[in-house]
Amino acid sequence: MNKRIEAALNDQIQKESSSSQYYLAMASWAETKGLNGTAKFMYTHSDEERFHMLKLIKFVNERGGVAVVPSIPEPPREYDSLERVFELLLEHEVGVSESINEVVDACLQEKDYSTHNFMQWYVSEQLEEEALGRSILDKLRLIGGDKGGLYLFDRDMEMTAAAAAKGGNADQKA
Ligand code: FEO
């Protein structure tokens, strides 16, 4: 495997792994605040990120490279508000999208078309994740400090988590 591509993919493995830990920390925080729907959504999201990492690890190893399992710094334990949690999630996802675009760009420069093809799955996944993050933030901003609205929001997140889990299972079988 091309060494530059191998390094870029290993860097992406690190990012997906840190996303998984980040959302796990957010899930745990939400659970301790009684936001069980949001916690469920974040636990599911954390699992999805782990799947993104595993998919990369397998690809690198199957292509003759060596995948590196990274160590991850501890994510934050405390968050100022639910809105802040989703702002951080969206900021994080935008950063991940940029990094995926850099991998795609490196693939084109190195003429590694099969990795380029493999990465298209991540490109569309990021589009979905960013769109979901933005729509959740819009809802939260609309609700503002309304407690009843927040209750309904949290209940909705439980359904969003269930739908994501279904989609995620289909992806993982694909
Ligand atoms: Fe796998 Fe949300 O980046």
User: Could you write out the three-class secondary structure of the chain?
Assistant: CCHHHHHHHHHHHHHHHHHHHHHHHHHHHHHHCCCHHHHHHHHHHHHHHHHHHHHHHHHHHHCCCCCCCCCCCCCCCCCCCHHHHHHHHHHHHHHHHHHHHHHHHHHHHCCCHHHHHHHHHHHHHHHHHHHHHHHHHHHHHHHCCCHHHHHHHHHHHHHHHHHHHHHHHHHHHC
Contacts of 165 (CB under 8 A, 6+ apart): 44, 47
CB of 15 closer than 6 A to ligand 1? no
CB of 20 closer than 6 A to ligand 1? no
Percent of the chain clearing pLDDT 70 (strictly above): 95
In the reported structure, the alpha carbon of residue 123 is separated from the centroid of ligand 1 by a whole-number distance in angstroms of 10
In the reported structure, the alpha carbon of residue 6 is separated from the centroid of ligand 1 by a whole-number distance in angstroms of 19
- For residue range 61-113, what is the model confidence (pLDDT) as tens digits? 999 999 999 999 999 999 999 999 999 999 999 999 999 999 999 999 999 99
Q: Which atom of ligand 1 is nearest to the CA of 45?
A: 2
Residue closest by Cα to atom 2 of ligand 1: 93
Q: Which atom of ligand 1 is nearest to the CA of 92?
A: 2
CB of 116 closer than 6 A to ligand 1? no
Residue 79 gets the label, from left (phi > 0), alpha (psi -120 to 50) or beta, of beta
Q: Which domains does the chain have, with CATH numbers?
A: 3-173 (1.20.1260.10)
Q: Which atom of ligand 1 is nearest to the CA of 16?
A: 1
Cα gap 132→152, rounded to integer Å: 17
User: Residue 93: how many CB atoms within 10 A of its CB?
Assistant: 21
CB of 19 closer than 6 A to ligand 1? yes
What is the per-residue pLDDT for 145?
A: 82
- For residue range 125-160, what is the model confidence (pLDDT) as tens digits? 999 999 999 999 999 999 998 999 999 999 999 988
